[in-house]
Amino acid sequence: MFDQIRKRKQEEEAMRAAGRLPPGQALTQKFPVLHYGPVPTFNPETWDFRVWGEVEQPLRLTWEEFNQLPKTRVTMDLHCVTKWSKFDTVWEGVSVRTLIELGLVRLKPTARFVMQHAEYGFTANLPLEVVLQENFLLATHYDGKPLDPEHGYPLRGVIGFIPDRPDLKTPYLWKGAKWLRGLEFMAQDRPGFWEMAGYHNDADVWKEERYG
Ligand SMILES: Nc1nc2c(c(=O)[nH]1)N[C@H]1C(S)=C(S)[C@@H](COP(=O)(O)O)O[C@H]1N2
Ligand SMILES: [Mo]
């Protein structure tokens, strides 16, 4: 047990020395579960993924269709506003850039912000430029396996820090909606669920933008 504590501290110091531990954060080896409300059940017959708003044509994909899309793998550090950080997590899923490159989503020039819509009406907002970055993924897999139900199965938005890419904006983890069901492209920004509850709209982990 004391070995475990020592090991955690050592790894935390290594991350700090590497410039990968944002201010006020602590390293965890676990994967905490945080959300408001119950874990929804998944029905592959009725599940769909929808895109609407500032797009040339709304899109609706079934679970089967969504799974045929080309997937991307991203390794990144997760930073939660509740102060835990988890390093080198491996995610697979569909990037929004892929949806655009395939012509499935054609953005209107007025599109500037994106709202993630999840089960039970949960929402999370991000600027379009952040959603198009390599560190934002519509993730189906974590650590080589389908997501656990409590981490968002079958689909979640996920955002984290890519060590070689300090140029990319990195918001806290709450900006990725678990149990994701759609993306709304917007001309104007709107606050999501936690943003309405007082969390910071930009949520930059390096600037420690926790609360608004
Ligand atoms: N649908 C949904 N997604 C959500 C939330 C939520 O309440 N509902 N909470 C967010 C918050 S506050 C955090 S910190 C992360 C936690 O993700 P994890 O449970 O996989 O660690 O999910 C985010 N996504
Ligand atoms: Mo959170």
Q: How confident is the chain (212 residues) per 10-residue block, as mean pLDDT?
A: 90 97 97 97 98 98 98 98 98 98 98 98 98 98 98 98 97 98 99 98 98 92
Residues in the ligand 1 pocket, defined by CB under 6 Å = 32-36, 80, 118, 122, 151, 173-174, 176-179, 194
Q: Is residue 142, in this structure, part of any structural domain at all?
A: yes
Question: Which ligand is nearest to the Cα of residue 160, counting in written order?
Answer: 1
What is the predicted pLDDT for the residue at 58? 98
What is the predicted pLDDT for the residue at 2? 82
Q: Is residue 21, in this structure, part of any structural domain at all?
A: yes
pTM attached to this predicted model:
0.97
Per-residue exposure over 47-80, b if at least 16 CB sit within 10 Å of its own CB, e if not = bebebebbbeeebebebeebeebebbebebbbbb
Q: Is residue 204, in this structure, part of any structural domain at all?
A: no
> Whole domain around residue 60: which residue ranges?
2-196
What is the predicted pLDDT for the residue at 99? 98
Between CA 41 and CA 33 the distance in angstroms is: 16
| Ion ligand 2: residues, Cβ under 5 Å | 34, 81, 174
Closest atom of ligand 1 to 179 CA is 1
Q: Is residue 206, in this structure, part of any structural domain at all?
A: no
Angle, CA 56 vertex, CA 130 and CA 160 arms, to 5°:
15
Nearest residue to 71 via CA among 139, 159, 155, 161 = 139
Give the residue, by CA position, lying nearest to ligand 1 atom 21.
33
Cα of 204 vs centre of ligand 2, distance in Å, is 14
Q: Is residue 92, in this structure, part of any structural domain at all?
A: yes
CA distances, 70 to each of 33, 100, 146, 162, 166 (Å): 28, 12, 16, 21, 26
What domain count does the chain have? 1
Cα of 176 vs centre of ligand 1, distance in Å, is 7
Q: Residue 102: which CATH number? A: 3.90.420.10
Give the residue, by CA position, lying nearest to ligand 1 atom 15.
174
Q: Is residue 208, in this structure, part of any structural domain at all?
A: no
Q: Is residue 212, in this structure, part of any structural domain at all?
A: no
Q: Is residue 121, in this structure, part of any structural domain at all?
A: yes
* Residue 82 in tokens: 């509740």
Beta bridge partners of residue 116, listed in sequence order: 124, 183
Between CA 113 and CA 130 the distance in angstroms is: 9
